[in-house]
Amino acid sequence: MANYSRAAVQTDVRKLELMDLPIPEVRDDGMLIRVEAVSICGSDVHYFRNKPIFPAVLGHEVCGTIVEMGKDARRTIHAFYGPLSVGDRVCVYPGVTCGKCMDCLTYGDGVYTMCRDTFAYGDFFQYQGEGEPPFTNRVNEWPYVTGGFAEYMYIYPNTYVWKVPDTMPSRIASLIDPLACALRAVELAQRAPGVLEDSMNVNSTALIMGDGAIGLFAAFYARLLGVRQVLMIGASEYKLGVARDFSGVDAGINTLASTYEERREFVLSRTGGRGADTVINCVGNAKAFREGADHMKRMGTMVDIGNAINPAPVEFDVQRDLTFKHGTYMGMMATTPATFNKSFTLLLQDEKFHFDKIFTGQFTLDTLQGALENATSPEYIKGFIQF
């Protein structure tokens, strides 16, 4: 094994620098993986465009091969389909929670983002608690490599991983994160069987706002759950084509080539004039949320996963949009290893679902900068690095 790891470090706004970071010493409770594939997430693109809080290695949609395990790692690392050994490939849950705070005790260990000290791989972790921070992703502190845009990545104790079978390509395994996020958003719209507010059943129309990877996965999962009709509002003819082909979307409309009135008509004409039962907003734009609320029918449900990043105040008429509509609005931020495991189960059926259709480009650490710069191209859905 080399004694350094090549890594793409974000050092400034829209600036990656290739660096050789030290290979960390593996402590008894951790392990080291050699990254095989890492997918590029929308949040990587967002970080790239902004000033980094400190130089860090981004990338959290990771599949890699275990090259070294601490002597206690089988006990401290949670492995679905384990036990783990050196040489196994794993895909990685992106967050590590403290397991001890009131939120971890209340909601369970591993509930990503609820724990105030959720560490995120490939992100900027700022410790809120007392004493020494238990985790870091500063590239100048051990364990140096805690993001996937690097040849090696350190795995902390209390991380959840999935042992990847030989039949699953690493790039497919790296999709566990974005697929799980979309899956969780759709899950939030599910209700107890038969209740009045049930908006996700064989009579329902699900409207997906957004034709990015999360929107395509959300549409795919809604279709899989058996709703009658899946509609999509997107911004690219190419991606709307992938929505039909991969996600099974019945009809889509391009927001750049239509007026608001035409989109209202698009939804109303397909829902008996009532609107969509479920709306999942996967666009990082408050206007999309606003429009989605208009497309939601009375007694409908709307889930927002898109507005996770930028603050975005929006006009909301409590009487019209909420109370008179008997509407349910949900935000999606928290997720769990159990949700990821459902995603993993779907990835195991790649032969049936063809998840490769989501990928639009293969990159290297050297070409990653260009990939992040061109991520808004209408022909781009999701890129990955194969090492």
Q: Which is nearer to Zn ion, 177 or 277 (CB)?
A: 177
Q: Which is nearer to Zn ion, 38 or 231 (CB)?
A: 38
b/e burial code for range 243-258 (CB count within 10 A of at least 16 → b): beebbebbebbbbeee
Q: Which is nearer to Zn ion, 216 or 276 (CB)?
A: 216
Q: Which two tokens stand for residue 139?
A: 């590239």
CB count in 10 Å sphere of residue 100: 12
DSSP 3-state assignment of 31?
strand
Q: Which is nearer to Zn ion, 276 or 347 (CB)?
A: 347
Sign of CA dihedral 118, 124, 125, 128: negative
Q: Which is nearer to Zn ion, 29 or 109 (CB)?
A: 109
Least spacing, CB of residue 294 vs Zn ion, in Å: 29
CB count in 10 Å sphere of residue 365: 19
Pairing mode of beta strands 160-163, 78-80: parallel
Burial tier of 341 (Cβ tally within 10 Å: 0-12, 13-18, 19+): middle
DSSP 3-state assignment of 278?
strand
- Contacting positions for Zn ion (CB under 5 A): 41, 97-98, 101, 104, 115, 177
Least spacing, CB of residue 128 vs Zn ion, in Å: 10
Backbone angles phi, psi at 269, to 5 degrees: -70, -20
Least spacing, CB of residue 197 vs Zn ion, in Å: 30
**Integer angstrom CA distances of residue 247 from 124, 220, 362, 364:** 33, 4, 21, 28
Q: Which is nearer to Zn ion, 258 or 386 (CB)?
A: 386
Q: Which is nearer to Zn ion, 97 or 328 (CB)?
A: 97
